[in-house]
Amino acid sequence: MYATVKRSLYKIGEARSRDAESGQKDRLRREHVETDKAPAPDVPAPHQANVPPIYQHYPEDEIDLVEYWQVLVQYKKLILLLTLTSTLLALLAAFLMTPVYRAEVLLAPVSHDEDDSKLSLLGASQFGDLLARTGIPMGSGGNQISLHIATLKSRLLTTAFIESESLMPVLFPESLEATAEGRKNSFGFFSDEAPTLWAAFNLFDREIRSIDLDRSTGLLTLAIEWQDPELAAAWANNLVQRVNHQLSSQAIEEGRTSISYLKKQLAETSSVEVQQAIYRLIEAETKEIMLANVQEEYAFKVIDPAVAPQKPIKPQRTLIVTLGFLLGLIAALFIAFFHSAITKHKKGHDNQLRES
């Protein structure tokens, strides 16, 4: 009897133990399933974790090429009209402008070695004061060339050239037009004042004549820009002839003055050494006067004389028409997109008012 009860109790204990183990396994299984179904935590992707806001993508900032094309199609007549008008105006202006021609003469400055060595003719530097009193130049050939170029640019030579060539009516055709009310100036108003030589010199020096020195070759280019190609070439050649004539005449006059002074000093001195130096200077000045009388190209030797140009340098018609086309196109595009933006802004504002 006792043994039977004991076996029954043992079986009941085993059954309870199995039930406990089974319940624990079910509970663990449920927890595992819930863990698998739980959402994963928000972890940013490695390539997006450190991206700054400036590189973030905003669809509304994209360039809408389709919208731009629609604007161009919508305002194509306006764009075409403004561009065509600007191009035609530029073309008209290019052909109405007075053509300007450029005539050039190539010159080689002449250096006279006699002037560079006159101080050495005295045999001693103490006689330099004598040279200074006679007015004999003691500078180098480079200084002499600079002096000749300055003379070519000078106001004195230019005004004398304008007067000798009677250029005032040519330079100021409208200003010198005599009327019952007076003279018409360059601005189209009537005035009693005639243009002066100073005004003619400024016009000639700033807008007509240009002088360029090539430092590498030492050659000089004198250019004249004018509306008449024949006149431009004639002025360039005549200007060179005039400066050569003026400088040679000046050299002759200075040489005669120097010789006259040297002869006075020769009569007053008793020193043989000084007398010999004065004779050498008189000989050098006599040679200089002879050279100035014989040599026509005394200061500038003409390498290539000016000829009447065939084509004008101004206006540059192709450039003017191209700029007119581009400016008209840019202005038309600006107006089209500006008007489209204003219209779009007004429509958006009206829609907001209706919705509210």
How does pLDDT run across 101-132, given as a tens digit for each residue? 999 999 999 887 654 455 455 444 445 555 55
Which tens digits make up the pLDDT trace of 245-277? 999 999 999 989 989 998 888 888 888 888 888
Q: Is 224 left (phi over 0), alpha (psi -120 to 50) or beta?
A: beta
Strand partners, 314: 100
Where residue 162 falls among pLDDT bands split at 50, 70, 90? very high
Provide the mean pLDDT of the chain.
79
Q: What is the value of pTM for the model shown?
A: 0.63
pLDDT score for 111: 80
Instruction: Phi first, then psi: give them for residue 283, nearest 5 degrees.
Output: -65, -45
Query: What are 126's two structure tokens?
Result: 């103490």
Question: Roughly what angle, to the nearest 10 degrees, separates helices 65-74 and 317-355?
Answer: 110
Q: Percentage of residues in the chain with pLDDT exceeding 70?
A: 68
SS3 content of the chain, % helix, strand, coil (to 5): 65, 10, 25
pLDDT score for 304: 95
Burial of 243 by CB count in 10 Å (0-12 exposed, 13-18 middle, 19+ buried)? Answer: buried
Three-class SS of residue 192? coil
Burial letters 63-91, b for 16+ CB under 10 A, else e? eeeeeeeebeeebeeebeebbeebbeebe
Where residue 66 falls among pLDDT bands split at 50, 70, 90? confident
C-alpha separations of 265 from 114, 120, 126, 129, 258 in Å? 21, 19, 15, 12, 11
Per-residue pLDDT at 289 exceeds 80: yes
Tell me whether strands 220-226 and 101-109 are parallel, antiparallel or unpaired.
antiparallel
Alpha carbon 213 to its chain's center: 19
DSSP for 97-143 reads: SPPBEEEEEEEEE---HHHHSHHHHTSSGGGHHHHHHHT---S-HHH
- Do 112 and 144 form a contact (C-beta atoms < 8 A)? yes
Which tens digits make up the pLDDT trace of 5-25? 445 555 655 666 666 666 666
Instruction: Phi first, then psi: give them for residue 260, nearest 5 degrees.
Output: -60, -40
- Do 255 and 285 form a contact (C-beta atoms < 8 A)? yes
Average pLDDT over residues 204-220: 93
> How many other CB atoms are there within 10 angstroms of residue 182's CB atom?
14
Average pLDDT over residues 178-186: 47
Query: What are 119's two structure tokens?
Result: 């101080």
Measured in Å, how far apart are the chain's first and last C-alpha atoms? 96
- Do 248 and 292 form a contact (C-beta atoms < 8 A)? yes
Q: Which domains are seen in the chain, by residue range? A: 65-92+316-340 (no CATH), 98-304 (3.30.1890)
Where residue 344 falls among pLDDT bands split at 50, 70, 90? confident
Per-residue pLDDT at 196 exceeds 50: yes
Burial of 192 by CB count in 10 Å (0-12 exposed, 13-18 middle, 19+ buried)? Answer: exposed
Where residue 180 falls among pLDDT bands split at 50, 70, 90? very low
pLDDT score for 13: 59
d(CA 84, CA 91): 10
